[in-house]
Chains A and B, each alone.
Chain A
Amino acid sequence: MTHSLTRAAAVALVLGVGGAAGPATAQDTLLNVSYDIARELFEALNPAFAAHWRETTGNSVTVDQSHGGSSAQARAILEGLAADVVTFNQETDIDVLAADGLVPESWRELLPNGASPWYSLPAFLVREGNPRGIHDWDDLARDDVAVIFPNPRTSGNARYTYLAAFAFALDQNGGDEDAAEAFVRAIFDNVPVFDTGGRGATQTFAERGIGDVLVTFEAETGGIAAAYADQGLERVTPSLSLFAAFPVAVVAEVADRNGTTELANAYLDWLYSPEAQRIVAGHYYRVTDEGVAAEFADSLPEVRLVTVDEVFGGWDAVRANHFAEGARLDNVFVNQ
């Protein structure tokens, strides 16, 4: 017993050393702290970047990944998680870092497209054959449709859904906010269960078989359809949706200390290259490179995108008018 335990420990030791042993110098390692659902994406991107880096500089590089809820990740960085770069799905989470001085205030201007190398939008996933004929936001307000998305109080994903539906209604009715609120409320009344996060809503829809349509980021719909391939779920893109930035930044303070500033900048620049954008588009994100976007036009159909700034006057106004206590979300979400 003692002998076999010792051996097991020895094996674990060898395995662990093998697993932990990275390149020798600090400059060759980069920690990318990212949002929750991006693991597969970066598992595809990082080896490609390593190959690119070896080709151009002759050095090898390992990009370590940490994934979690974007806001929780920002909080961890504030408390000392040594991220060289962040790749988030909420601009406000980088603003939090900027307010603390970890990231320059001007981070949006440092890279193209508002420092968002790719973006996405709330879109739909429906049952095989689209039996309810769901094509646009107004179909979600119909009495015979059950809609699934998470609780907008706990899920950033669902807040985008709320805002996209609101923006659609404003566009249709010529800017009548109260009518838009009534429209969104009709959609909310069709939601049988509000899970706390996107993954929970996905399980409610795909594993428990509840609802006719799941609303989530378009980038998620492809992965979900693939994960539950036997169900024949179909992706539907509405006519209008909300631009959801996926912003990136170098955490200047950490990169300075680690001596990784050059590598970190190169990594983020490379995310805009056609090679990286092609990988990203393959994961159903919309990309900024027009050539690559054209290559993927079949899987990512044309959609009219509006931004939070255009429709709602920025995130501060959204918070005050929609998500603050007693604001519009409370009216819509009244019975929950």
Chain B
Amino acid sequence: MTATATHLPGRSRRAERTLIGVAVSLSLLFVAAPLAYIFVRAFSQGWQVYAANILHPMTLHAIWLTTITAIVVVPVNVAFGIAAAWAVAKHRFPGRGILVTMIEIPFSISPIIAGICYLLLYGRQGLLGPWLRAQDIQVMFALPGIILVTMFVTAPFVAREVLPLMQAQGTEQEQAAVTLGASGWQVFRRVTLPNIKWALLYGAVLCTARAVGEFGGVSVVSGNIRGQTNTLPLHVELLFNDLNAVGAFAAASTLTLIALVALVVKAALEGKRG
């Protein structure tokens, strides 16, 4: 035992160092360098040009549209995530396995398929298209469509984080609370929610990051109307295709900042969620 303990660390330390070295260089090469380059390119013509690009009405509108989408999508998915995880973890009912699989579906489907499915359902030639048109409701190529698709793509994030925790915790505490005379709402607010709050926040951060960055599904249902349905990721592509590289990188830098903030918050939460 002692012999192996003195022998192995020497060898494993060398292997350890090599592995760490490889991991660090690869991370620098594939993650840090491109990220840094976004800011280098964004500021390549000075901060005035950068500011002018960010403050361009079309860019501001894209930022606003992406923000409002996240503001609607994240709370809905938090509620959905809690409800779904609660149902699956704390109750036994027929079809429970199917529900677990359903929650995961958006993870395994390419977002563009989600976009096309919504189009085939709500589009002019879609299943609900004629009815929607008769009511003069525009779902696709407008804010509702963008929100619906983003909601679909980001649906599993909260449930996926909360579910394992709820399952591990079991129902003993809730049962004890009920025995002590707590109402359903009190049980949820005083017992369930405090137990899952870090996992919940963690899921919400991931959900936000994904909602803000979603491209493929939204690009199908957006219609790319500048100043109306052009989200920030779509706007980055648009500027890039317009040969406005500095503008594209400036817009991309705002997305990157959001991602970095989400990353820091996520790292901070990671320790706490237990």
Contacts and interface: CB of A to CB of B under 8 A. Distances in A.
A19 B230 CA distance: 12
Interface in B191-238: 223-229, 238
Given A12-B67, A16-B68, A36-B241, A80 B225 contact: no
A40 B226 CA distance: 12
B67 A78 contact: no
Interface in B20-74: 57, 60-61, 63-65, 67-68, 71
Contact of B129 (A67, A80, A224): A80
A305 interface: no
Interface stretch (B119-127, B149-157, B171-179): B119-127
Contacts of A36: 241
A227 interface: yes
Nearest to B226: A65
Interface in B233-249: 238, 241-243
A320 interface: no
Contact of B228 (A12, A20, A76): A20
Contacts of B238: 39, 67
Contacts of A82: 138, 141
Interface in A9-43: 9, 12-13, 15-16, 19-20, 31, 33, 36, 39-40
Contacts of A79: 119, 123-126, 129, 140-141
A64 B243 contact: no
A68 interface: yes
Contact of A66 (B60, B63, B126, B225): B225
A235 to B, nearest CB: 16
Interface string B139-180: 011000000000000000000000000000000000000000
Given A64-B225, A68-B224, A76-B141, A19 B64 contact: yes
A81 interface: yes
A135 interface: no
Contacts of A283: none
B72 to A, nearest CB: 12
Nearest to A12: B67
Chain B CB within 10 Å, residue with most, of A13, A16, A76, A202: A76
Interface residues on A, range: 20 to 34
A31 B238 CA distance: 18
Contact of B243 (A9, A16, A76, A223): A223
Nearest to A16: B64
B64 A12 contact: yes
A91 to B, nearest CB: 22
Given A12-B64, A19-B57, A80 B241 contact: no
Contacts of A65: 225-226
B228 A16 contact: no
Given A40-B242, A68-B224, A80 B68 contact: no
A227 B243 CA distance: 7
Interface in A35-84: 36, 39-40, 64-68, 76, 78-82
A7 B141 CA distance: 29
Contacts of B243: 199, 202, 223-224, 227
Contact of B67 (A9, A39, A68, A199): A9
Contacts of B64: 12-13, 15-16, 19-20
Contacts of A202: 243
Contacts of B227: 19-20, 64
A16 B125 contact: no
A299 B238 CA distance: 28
Nearest to A102: B124
Contacts of B228: 20, 64
Interface in A180-222: 199, 202
A2 to B, nearest CB: 13
Contacts of A199: 241, 243
Q: A-B pairs with the 4 shortest C-beta distances?
A: A16-B64, A80-B124, A79-B123, A19-B61
12 contacts: A12-B67, A15-B61, A16-B68, A19-B60, A19-B64, A20-B61, A66-B226, A68-B224, A78-B125, A80-B129, A80-B138, A199-B243
